[in-house]
Amino acid sequence: MRFRTHREGEILDITDQIQRMVESSKLKDGVATLFVPGSTGALTTIEYEPGLLTDFPRALERVAPKEASYEHENRWHDGNGHSHIRASLIGPGLSVPFSDKKLALGTWQQIIFLELDVRPRDRTVVVQLVGD
């Protein structure tokens, strides 16, 4: 799956795209494994609703503040030391089981991609389906 992001902090709901991949596969039961190549993007799940779409970036700012001092920034001067820390804490991968061609997500749980870099990026999420 490929897409372009537009800004730092962008949160994209990719649940429907992953569900369509599962439905179009020959597999009935298994696991969807997702991975984002790169060190400033991340994957996780969230309840994709306005309150959490505001709260989650605020929480990341408390954990790895943009204005803090980062050795990465001192070395490379690219303004994204906080982006690397945030992406490392959330992680680049996710595994979601599916049964009878349906992702085993909770009622209010969606799969999201987070753009944590300071500039727009062309992104790829590698998706592998394994099962019967």
Task: Identify the structural domains of the chain with CATH numbers, from first to last.
Answer: 2-131 (2.60.120.460)
Summarised one tens digit per residue, pLDDT across range 25-46 is: 999 999 999 999 999 999 999 9
Three-class secondary structure of residue 42 per DSSP: strand
Residue whose token pair is 């992953």: 18
- What is the Rg, in whole angstroms, of the alpha carbon atoms belonging to the chain? 16
* CA 62/CA 47 separation, integer angstroms: 20
Q: Answer yes or no: are the C-beta atoms of 83 and 5 closer than 8 Å.
A: no
Question: Letter for the amino acid at 128?
Answer: Q
From residue 22, give the alpha-carbon distance in Å to each of 50, 126, 128: 27, 14, 10
Q: What is the mean pLDDT of residues 40-64?
A: 97
- Provide the whole-model pTM: 0.95
